[in-house]
Chain A
Amino acid sequence: MDLTLKIWRQASAKAKGQFVNYQVQNISAEASFLEMLDILNESLVAKGEEPVAFDHDCREGICGACSLYINGRPHGPDRGITTCQMHMRNFKHGETIIIEPWRAKPFPVIKDLMVDRSSFDEIIQAGGFVSVRTGGIPDANSIPIPRRNAELAMDAAACIGCGACVAACKNASAMLFVSAKVSQFALLPQGRVEAQERVQRMVAKMDELGFGNCTNTYACEAECPKEISVSNIARMNREFLSAKLISHKTF
């Protein structure tokens, strides 16, 4: 298929960016979206032009590196899938595809479609860990964990930290990401010990970095490639409220 691409080009963090139109021809419906961009970049390099910079790493939907706001949707038109796993069969011959970087104050553009997501790392550094050695793999059932909690914790831990939730949210709120990280610990006994401190520290960091407030619009859940549930946000709100009310330490 032949396509017109409208891509955000920005030479550096400080430079002024703009949309540039490109044509690509003979793209297979079997190609992945990133392969399509590779083809474009090869043709740009052949012409001696600067290739389009975009983030990617594993290309199998597990690392969280790829991004792209495609036709108004983070990770493109398919549900529950990362950009690297999304294929060109989602598009029609002759279509114009608008490709933008994630837009949020805490996600500044580095170059073209690449944004700096180290604000997510800062939130993790604020409390997204267990600070004691938990040792090797414990014997099965030596720590009793209700099956439901194990399932919910695993679901929350599926978050790959891609930032699509922030990109999708009209408020650029990071609540889905932070709540997934808070939940994966809060649901398990090893994480409970520091739960009250963790939720307060992570939320304080999230606010400090300039992410927006959650207005329960739920665009995050709809666009999350790992289909993280907004029930995690409610859990984080509960954890936060009880920590503020009964914790010995408040932050």
Chain B
Amino acid sequence: MGNSLAYSSITKKIIMSLAGLFLISFLLVHLGINLLILFDKTYESFNMAAHFMATNPLIQVFQWVLFIGFIIHIIYGIIVQIQNWSARPVKYMKKGYSELSYFSKFMIHTGVVVFIFLIIHFANFFIVAKFGHVEEITYKSGTYENMGAVVFETFKIGWYVVFYVLALLLLGFHLEHGIQSAFQSLGFNHWRYTPVIKIIGTLFSILITLGFLAIPLVIYFT
């Protein structure tokens, strides 16, 4: 990555958009597993899925790919942003307002909050699951660490729920611009399909956000 600065502007955007779309695939898997927690009071299916994710060798390799995807997306995001700030050394007195894609103005801001969230989230769940002590629970199907209970306890903490909700709303805004932007960066723009991509991207961002938000809110308020 030594010459990441030397890459052309378009190459940087193509790399970022591929990494971004890849991260979205991870969000889908993650959401699917999280939602199990709401449908099973004993957490059996959730704990089983968590156990699978923590032990399956393929997933272990994939975890590193995912980690690298994040790093690439973040590093290029920051490089692109710094170059863009320095492309206009003297600012306008009257701010322009003609941006058509509103959330595109805040990609670095929403991105940074998501990044901070990821670190805290990582410390709370991933590190606890990997290195901390989690009670085990035995079902008919086997004995697993009771990650469901860890999630439940964490989402009873008020400030954490507030932060989680905020960070995921911002992730939703990030995606609202990001999804259609990634297609455009990759060169995909079509008079008929681009409007469809924009609608699907927006719906997708809303559904993903609502899906993730449902879990802490349901746990906190019941």
| Chain A residues, Cβ within 8 Å of B84 | 170-173, 212-213, 215
| Chain A residues, Cβ within 8 Å of B56 | none
Beta-carbon contact of A213 and B189 below 8 Å: no
Beta-carbon contact of B185 and A216 below 8 Å: yes
Q: Known interface pairs A215-B181, A237-B185. Does A222 touch B100 (Cβ–Cβ under 8 Å)?
A: yes
Nearest 5 A/B pairs, CB to CB: A234-B189, A238-B187, A212-B87, A171-B84, A237-B187
B174: CB under 8 A from chain A? no
A218: CB under 8 A from chain B? yes
Q: Bound state CA distance, A233 and B166, in angstroms?
A: 34
Interface residues of B in 75-101 (CB under 8 A from A): 80, 83-84, 86-101
Q: Known interface pairs A103-B92, A204-B8. Does A216 touch B97 (Cβ–Cβ under 8 Å)?
A: no
The one of B14, B86, B101 in contact with A105, judged by C-beta atoms closer than 8 angstroms, is: B86
B26: CB under 8 A from chain A? no
Cβ of B12 to closest chain A Cβ, rounded Å: 6
Q: Known interface pairs A172-B87, A217-B104. Does A72 touch B92 (Cβ–Cβ under 8 Å)?
A: yes
Q: Bound state CA distance, A173 and B184, in angstroms?
A: 15
| Chain A residues, Cβ within 8 Å of B104 | 215-218
Interface residues of A, count at CB 8 A = 47
The one of B88, B93, B99, B184 in contact with A233, judged by C-beta atoms closer than 8 angstroms, is: B184
| Chain B residues, Cβ within 8 Å of A72 | 92, 94-98
Beta-carbon contact of A235 and B92 below 8 Å: no
Cβ of B109 to closest chain A Cβ, rounded Å: 13
Cβ of A5 to closest chain B Cβ, rounded Å: 13
| Chain A residues, Cβ within 8 Å of B180 | 216
Interface residues of B in 1-29 (CB under 8 A from A): 8-14
Beta-carbon contact of A213 and B14 below 8 Å: no
